[in-house]
Amino acid sequence: MTCDPMNVHHMLSKNFVNYVKWPEFRETFKAFRDGIFTIDSDTWKCHRVLLHSSFKTRSFEKSLEKIIRDSVQSCLVPLIDHVERKGIEVDLQDMFNRFNFDTICSKIIGSDPKCLAIDFPEVACERAFNEAEEFIFYRDTVSKCFWKLKRWLRIGPKKKMAEACEVFDRFLHQSIASKIES
């Protein structure tokens, strides 16, 4: 385990091939399907080169800057002003999670789920994404024996995780379908 950014960079960028992903690791991140945490080193290199070349273009950076600036001006600042005027207490972590989720979805998927609104709406896809994150953390922190027992007894968060994945997948499929239609 490490939290040093240089170590993480070394493991995920410079020497990925030297850090074998054992079956338990792959099982933990199974919800992300074939993502950077679960694929073999050759596939990872191909994905990394493709993504790196896309993310490092000036047009990508400019469009991301525009999305963030627009979101700050049209959503975040008005929300903070509203909260301050009304004297409403808010969970800043929740507010910034919503901001990040909206911004990422806008850039990557091309669809703004509008989680960051004055009434702090319950947005199913954002809630599902957060539940999936919590599930992965939970699954990685409990012992394998305990995890298997709960699975065998059909209790615990596994059903909730499956439902969260369905909700998020539905959001992704609807977003993709709407982009194909337009």
Out of 75, 105, 121, a domain closes at 121
Whole-number average pLDDT of the chain: 82
> How far apart are alpha carbons 99 and 114 in whole angstroms?
9
How would residue 118 be classed by pLDDT, with cut points 50, 70 and 90? Answer: confident
* pLDDT single digits (tens) 72-114: 999 999 999 999 999 999 999 999 999 999 999 998 888 889 9
pLDDT attached to residue 84 = 94
Say if residue 140 is in the same domain as residue 93. Answer: no
Query: Nearest-CA neighbor of 132 among 143, 122, 140?
Result: 140
Say if residue 177 is in the same domain as residue 131. Answer: yes
Say if residue 98 is in the same domain as residue 129. Answer: no
- Percent of the chain topping pLDDT 90: 27
Q: Which residue has the tokens 């240089």?
A: 6
Candidate ranges 79-83, 109-113, 169-173, 176-180; pick with highest mean pLDDT? 79-83
Query: Nearest-CA neighbor of 95 among 119, 67, 129, 125?
Result: 119
pTM for the predicted model, two decimal places = 0.70
Core vs surface per residue 132-161: b (16+ CB within 10 A) or e: beebbeebeeeeeeebeeeeeeeebeeeeb
Domain that holds residue 33: 1-56
Say if residue 83 is in the same domain as residue 102. Answer: yes
Query: Nearest-CA neighbor of 142 among 28, 29, 32, 36?
Result: 28
How would residue 62 be classed by pLDDT, with cut points 50, 70 and 90? Answer: very high
Total number of domains constituting the chain: 3
pLDDT attached to residue 136 = 76
> How far apart are alpha carbons 139 and 101 in whole angstroms?
23
Q: Read off the tokens for 9.
A: 């960079």
pLDDT attached to residue 60 = 87
| Mean pLDDT within 2-14 | 80
The radius of gyration of the chain's CA atoms, rounded to the nearest angstrom, is 19
> Which SS3 state, helix, strand or coil, does residue 114 take?
coil
Q: Read off the tokens for 34.
A: 């074939």
In this model, does residue 25 exceed pLDDT 60? yes
